[in-house]
Amino acid sequence: MVLGVMPLVLASGAGAVSRQHIGLIIATGMSVGTLFTLFVVPTAYTMLARDHQADSQKPGAGAVAPALKSHPQPGV
């Protein structure tokens, strides 16, 4: 995707400065978006999952679930 805007970044001739600025903004935005998607989001998800897993393993965290299972649900 970023390679598609390289002609804008490398533009020359009349109006080249404005095309270069537009191309630079697009290429930078796409690169930052890709890096966030590949690295930051999975890292944040992993950290939140570890925190959630640690909370669910605390003593007394599962005390509510057996009480709910003892009552049959209608229509099941």
pLDDT of the residue at 33: 94
Q: What is each CA distance from 72 to 50, 62, 63, 65, in whole angstroms?
A: 32, 18, 17, 13
Give the span between the Cα atoms of 25 and 22, in whole angstroms: 5
Give the span between the Cα atoms of 64 and 53, in whole angstroms: 17
Give the span between the Cα atoms of 41 and 2, in whole angstroms: 20
Give the span between the Cα atoms of 16 and 10, in whole angstroms: 8
Q: Whole-model pTM?
A: 0.56
Give pLDDT tens digits for 17-60.
888 898 889 999 999 999 999 999 999 999 888 877 777 777 66
Domain extents in the chain: 10-54
